[in-house]
């Protein structure tokens, strides 16, 4: 798959304990993305994206558009939700760390809040 164009997908279907699964591979400019899923199709019906097909360190820019299939579309759309949720749950609630006092009215308010 190294000689394929960016956006090319391949799929391997298998069965494990009578549950069908699919392994999808997507060619990116510098690497391959692989995702294992129990749902999805090979058809590219997700959100559209633009990728650069030019390798790093070379001159020129060859961009083109393609669509993800629904497995990669869901991955790129929701990949940060669990991490963001866990990050917010483990934060220590402190106004000094979460509120930036760079704006002058905020500095005045922070001063008045601190001395009261």
CB neighbours (10 Å) of residue 20? Answer: 10
Flag the least confident range among 2-6, 25-29, 34-38, 107-111.
2-6
Q: Average pLDDT in the 9-28 region?
A: 90
pTM, rounded to two decimals? 0.58
* pLDDT tens digit sequence for 30-64: 788 898 999 877 776 666 666 656 656 666 666 76
C-alpha span between 6 and 22 (Å, rounded): 20
| Residue of 16, 15, 40, 110 whose CA lies nearest to 26 | 40
Q: Average pLDDT in the 106-114 region?
A: 84
CA 97 to chain centre: 27
pLDDT of 19: 92
Q: Which residue has the higher pLDDT, 40 or 23?
A: 23
Residues 6+ apart with CB under 8 A from 19: 38
């Amino acid at each position: 798959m190294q000689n394929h164009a960016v956006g090319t997908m391949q799929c391997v279907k298998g069965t494990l304990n009578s549950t069908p699964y699919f392994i999808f591979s997507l060619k990116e400019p510098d690497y391959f993305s692989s995702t294992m899923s129990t749902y999805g199709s090979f058809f590219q019906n997700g959100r559209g994206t633009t990728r650069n097909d030019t390798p790093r360190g070379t001159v020129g820019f060859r961009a083109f558009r393609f669509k993800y299939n629904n497995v990669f579309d869901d991955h790129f759309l929701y990949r940060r939700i669990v991490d963001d949720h866990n990050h917010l749950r483990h934060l220590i609630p402190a106004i000094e760390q979460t509120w930036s006092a760079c704006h002058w009215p905020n500095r005045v308010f922070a001063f008045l809040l601190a001395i009261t």
